[in-house]
Amino acid sequence: MNEKLNKIIEKFKFQGTLIHIEENNQGNINKSYILTYNDNNVERKYLLQKINSNVFTEPYLVMKNIELVTNHIKKNLKKNNDTIHKTLNIIKTLKGENLYTYTNREGEKEYYRAFDYIDNCISYDSFKDSENSLELAYQAGKSFGLFQRLLIDFPSNLLGETIKDFHNTKKRFDDLLLSIENKVTNRAYEFPKEIIDLISKVKECSVIVESLGKTIPLRVTHNDTKLNNILMDKESGVGIAVIDLDTVMPGSSLFDLGDGIRSACSNSFEDEIDRQKIYLNLDLTESYLKGYLEEMGPYLTQEEINYLGLSIKILTYELALRFLTDYLNGDTYFKIKYEHHNRDRFMNQYILLNDIETKLEEINDFIMKTIDCETN
């Protein structure tokens, strides 16, 4: 493997002498390595990634989107004299390209790309054990809010769709029905009650996708606002950069807000199985919303504001559908660490979903209060 990896590494414009390679297993989709170089006694770090081309079938389109979006963010950060926040910086290949294509022994193409590694930062899978979790949740909301704000003047029609129907909740539901029908595994029998409940919720949970581009504006959105896609300063906790830009596409601000709170404000990791521990933490949710609204509040339309609370439920519902569908299909999409990993992830999101439903009224009240304060 190392011989192959070295061959790939040689194709990029990295500076200095390679001294260390470390695999990073945090993401559920791509494969990542952190490379450390010694450049005239200065340490330089890079992130090398193999794009999962089963998931991202057009890797060149992914990189084109990332190039356009990061250039725009850099320009706006400069315009705002912002020296704190950062974005990904692509390291090109020796040929000046955004990707290196490697053909493996089986004749299949593998796609590699590289970025500067953003150092002195930490990313969290959960805030549940953090002392300053409220401040961190505020920073998380602010980070994704700022990300949307920095792209508000970017024409979304310049971006290609890297995964079609990614947040089409109705389509995700239809995919679940297909997986039940197809019976690749016999696993659907494990969840009769849960499946009936998911069916009963589909109408309400399809409202964002049905209104998108009509009453809900299309914007440039991140679409994968999982907590660990924010890099936070190790010492100050300030959100420095939003990473994992593969799914940046035209979408709804509500996808990012809902998915962000689902991920950052749950009291558990995504695969926690102890039911007692799985619930939405309202204090974290309020802090997150406060940070997000400070950045994006003035730009949201009334229709978007009305759906903010519901978006948390919808995005949790959608991920529950996706984990269950993958489990029924025999685990072909998400990387799993053990046999029933997707089952546990599904149950986790399902329990979270039911808890969120009981808290929506309170969340909506908080949103209205916060928006009123901002506009008065």
Binding site for ligand GN1 (CB under 6 A): 27-29, 55, 224, 226, 229, 244, 247, 270, 319
Q: Which does 76 bind (CB under 5 to 8 A by kind): Mg ion, ligand GN1, none?
A: none
Q: How far is the CB of 23 from ligand GN1 (least distance, A)?
A: 15
- Convert residues 243-262 into a mask of x (bound to Mg ion by CB under 5 A) and - (unbound): -x------------------
Q: How is residue 229 annotated by DSSP?
A: G
Q: From CA 34, how far away is CA 22, in angstroms rounded?
A: 5
Q: How far is the CB of 7 from ligand GN1 (least distance, A)?
A: 26
Q: How far is the CB of 61 from Mg ion (least distance, A)?
A: 16
Contact status, residue 114 vs residue 14, Cβ threshold 8 Å = yes
Tokens representing 100 are 């290196």
Specify the residue, 224 or 326, whose C-beta has the smaller distance to Mg ion. 224
Specify the residue, 162 or 281, whose C-beta has the smaller distance to ligand GN1. 162
Residue closest to Mg ion, measured at CB: 244
Contact status, residue 164 vs residue 209, Cβ threshold 8 Å = no
Tokens representing 296 are 């994006």
Q: How far is the CB of 66 from ligand GN1 (least distance, A)?
A: 13
Q: From CA 190, how far away is CA 325, in angstroms rounded?
A: 13
Contact status, residue 239 vs residue 126, Cβ threshold 8 Å = no
Torsion of CA 132, 259, 27, 77, to 10 degrees: -70
First to last CA, the chain: 61
Q: How far is the CB of 137 from ligand GN1 (least distance, A)?
A: 18
Specify the residue, 205 or 371, whose C-beta has the smaller distance to ligand GN1. 205
Q: Which does 18 bind (CB under 5 to 8 A by kind): Mg ion, ligand GN1, none?
A: none
Q: From CA 138, how far away is CA 140, in angstroms rounded?
A: 5
Specify the residue, 242 or 328, whose C-beta has the smaller distance to Mg ion. 242
Give the residues across from 57 on adjacent strands.
none
- Convert residues 210-229 into a mask of x (bound to Mg ion by CB under 5 A) and - (unbound): --------------x-----
Nearest of 357, 299, 315, 292 to residue 208 by alpha carbon: 315
Using CB under 5 A as the binding criterion, the count of chain residues that bind Mg ion stands at 3
Q: Which does 226 bind (CB under 5 to 8 A by kind): Mg ion, ligand GN1, none?
A: ligand GN1
Q: Which does 8 bind (CB under 5 to 8 A by kind): ligand GN1, Mg ion, none?
A: none
Longest dimension (CA), the chain: 65
Residues in the chain, total = 376
Our finding on whether 29 is near Mg ion (CB under 5 A) is yes
Residues that bind Mg ion (CB under 5 A): 29, 224, 244
